[in-house]
């Protein structure tokens, strides 16, 4: 009997999640993410995978983030033809994310051709909008908790992982003759007691756990969000400034809007206009609203029998014309725009304009990577370069923490422990989807606190699970 697990991405790094399971009867993938970040990682997207996509029978997609789903169009282009199972909300968000990703790939190729810096002539996109549409055609949305039988001897279901709308962990049962081997793939694990997404479901009893470790070496120590933003926000509104909140379009923008609604409802913030200025955030917000019953939101958000996420005065700006109108609107108001790390997008136009006036306030939410404008501001630089100009930083700015969609070390441990008694905790844990420092730290934590056997696979590593189970 054969049962092999191999790691073709998201191992030793936080992007490119792709885990392959092979038995005598079938072969399937969990996630097909894009490698992102540094060039040497991005180049991996162009390498032929070590498995043949044509011979993969089906795929479980844990959630719509690009580092888990963004390779799907290429996989289908290279011959994968099986069903892609995912939750209904993931299906809705994946349409948005994959089409956007294809647009970026096409723009990158166009830009490389214009500048002539590609080794390939002409430079081709990794995939196109047609390829993305092709991949979407293979998606089969299912309900949380619904047992699937994608191949003989394989049963699986999606459980709620919190994190972002639709995010799931996958529980897989594999019949191997006399015994059933149970595996759980965590996907990305969300946080506990967060305003927008519900807590992750408890970890089911399993032999093998494949767990992410993005924040495996850190704690998100932070004061409640209202405390962090309340005072600075009110001061800015009182001096008739504009508040700019650069934010990821999916998940973060909705969480920020919900926090603002709670402040307004509690009478702590005046009812100022709030603008969501990013076509993707506008679309994602609509999808969130549509799936609102899956979010297990607090009853106090129930309004006239309808649950609403947002304050009354939220305005959506989808088109460029609608966005440009914002330039002429004086404060006080709040603008939420993408991207979250000030790397690209409409937020840059607002940044350029708003940074020069000390009445304004910029709120940076979440992690700011080392090479970004967001990081430059945190490090106390006096100017940032936007659209070729050095713009002086006169506006006030504060970083807000605690809005991460990822569990920190304690929360990851809490989730692994949620499996119940020590007999029910996983025999073996593969720690993936983290930089080596985080993955090592979390693996050590698991060994120390739970006595679990852990592995930290690298790219391309492969394990015989039957042998492991019997050893």
Contact footprint for Zn ion (CB under 5 A): 65, 188
Work out how close the CB of 199 gets to Zn ion at its nearest, in angstroms, rounded to a whole number: 16
- Strand pairing partners for 86? 141
Task: Give the count of beta carbons closer than 10 Å to the beta carbon of residue 74.
Answer: 22
Cα 373 to Cα 141, 380, 382: the distances in Å are 38, 11, 11
Which C-beta is closer to Zn ion: that of 158 or that of 465? 158
b/e burial code for range 290-304 (CB count within 10 A of at least 16 → b)? ebbebbebeeebeee
Cα four-point dihedral sign 10, 47, 372, 362: negative
Which C-beta is closer to Zn ion: that of 97 or that of 429? 97
Beta-carbon contacts of 137 under 8 Å, excluding residues fewer than 6 positions away, are none
Which C-beta is closer to Zn ion: that of 171 or that of 188? 188
Which C-beta is closer to Zn ion: that of 62 or that of 257? 62
391 neighbors 426 (Cβ within 8 angstroms) = no
Work out how close the CB of 425 gets to Zn ion at its nearest, in angstroms, rounded to a whole number: 24
Work out how close the CB of 411 gets to Zn ion at its nearest, in angstroms, rounded to a whole number: 15
Which C-beta is closer to Zn ion: that of 367 or that of 397? 367
Which C-beta is closer to Zn ion: that of 242 or that of 404? 404
Work out how close the CB of 367 gets to Zn ion at its nearest, in angstroms, rounded to a whole number: 13
Work out how close the CB of 305 gets to Zn ion at its nearest, in angstroms, rounded to a whole number: 33
Cα four-point dihedral sign 29, 10, 181, 90: negative
How far apart (Å, rounded) are the C-alpha atoms in residues 309 and 286?
10
Which DSSP state fits 136? H
Cα 61 to Cα 17, 31, 150: the distances in Å are 10, 5, 13
How far apart (Å, rounded) are the C-alpha atoms in residues 235 and 218?
32
What are the helix (H) ranges across 27-87? Answer: 39-42, 66-69, 72-77
Which C-beta is closer to Zn ion: that of 82 or that of 187? 187
Work out how close the CB of 268 gets to Zn ion at its nearest, in angstroms, rounded to a whole number: 31
Beta-carbon contacts of 162 under 8 Å, excluding residues fewer than 6 positions away, are 189, 190, 191, 192, 194, 197, 198, 199, 200, 405, 407
Work out how close the CB of 68 gets to Zn ion at its nearest, in angstroms, rounded to a whole number: 6
User: Read out DSSP for 242-283?
Assistant: EEEEE--TTTHHHHHHHHHHHHHHTTSS----EEEE-HHHHH
Which C-beta is closer to Zn ion: that of 182 or that of 409? 409
Work out how close the CB of 321 gets to Zn ion at its nearest, in angstroms, rounded to a whole number: 32
């Amino acid at each position: 009997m054969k049962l092999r697990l191999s790691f073709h991405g998201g191992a030793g790094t936080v992007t490119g999640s792709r885990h392959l399971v092979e038995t005598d009867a079938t072969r399937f993938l969990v996630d097909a993410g894009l490698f992102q970040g540094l060039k040497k990682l991005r180049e991996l997207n162009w390498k032929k995978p070590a498995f043949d996509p044509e011979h993969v029978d089906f795929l479980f997609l844990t959630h719509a983030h690009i580092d888990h789903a963004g390779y799907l169009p290429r996989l289908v282009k290279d011959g994968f033809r099986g069903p892609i199972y995912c939750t209904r909300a993931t299906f809705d968000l994946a349409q948005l994310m994959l089409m956007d990703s294809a647009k970026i790939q096409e723009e990158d190729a166009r830009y490389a051709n214009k500048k002539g810096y590609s080794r390939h002539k002409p430079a081709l996109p990794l995939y196109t909008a047609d390829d993305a549409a092709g991949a979407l055609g293979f998606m089969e949305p299912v309900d949380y908790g619904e047992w699937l039988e994608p191949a003989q001897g394989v049963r699986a279901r999606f459980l709620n992982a919190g994190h972002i709308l639709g995010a799931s962990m996958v529980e897989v049962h594999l019949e191997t003759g006399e015994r059933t081997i149970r595996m759980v793939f965590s996907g990305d694990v969300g946080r506990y007691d967060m305003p927008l997404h519900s807590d992750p479901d408890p970890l089911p009893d399993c032999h093998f756990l494949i767990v992410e470790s993005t924040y495996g070496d850190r704690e998100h120590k932070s004061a409640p969000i209202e405390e962090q933003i309340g005072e600075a926000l009110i001061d800015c509104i009182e001096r008739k400034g504009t508040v700019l909140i650069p934010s990821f379009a999916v998940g973060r923008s909705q969480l920020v809007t919900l926090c603002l609604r709670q402040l307004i409802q509690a009478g702590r913030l005046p009812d100022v206009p709030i603008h969501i200025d990013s076509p993707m955030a506008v679309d994602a917000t609509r999808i969130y609203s549509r799936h609102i019953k899956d979010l297990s939101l607090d009853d106090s958000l129930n309004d006239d029998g309808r649950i609403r996420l947002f304050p009354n005065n939220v305005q959506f700006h989808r088109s460029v014309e609608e966005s440009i109108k914002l330039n002429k609107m004086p404060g006080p108001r709040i603008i939420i725009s993408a991207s979250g790390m000030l790397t690209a997008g409409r937020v840059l136009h607002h940044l350029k304009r708003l940074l020069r006036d000390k009445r304004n306030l910029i709120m940076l939410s979440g992690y700011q990577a080392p090479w970004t404008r967001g990081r430059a501001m945190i490090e106390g630089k006096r100017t940032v370069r936007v659209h070729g100009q050095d713009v002086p930083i006169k506006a006030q700015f504060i970083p807000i923490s605690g809005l991460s969609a990822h569990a920190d070390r304690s929360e990851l441990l809490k989730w692994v422990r949620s499996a119940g008694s020590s007999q029910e905790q996983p025999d073996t844990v593969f720690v993936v989807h983290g930089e080596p420092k985080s993955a090592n730290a979390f693996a050590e934590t698991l060994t120390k606190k739970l006595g679990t056997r852990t592995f930290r696979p690298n790219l391309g590593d492969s394990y015989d699970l039957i042998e492991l189970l019997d050893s």
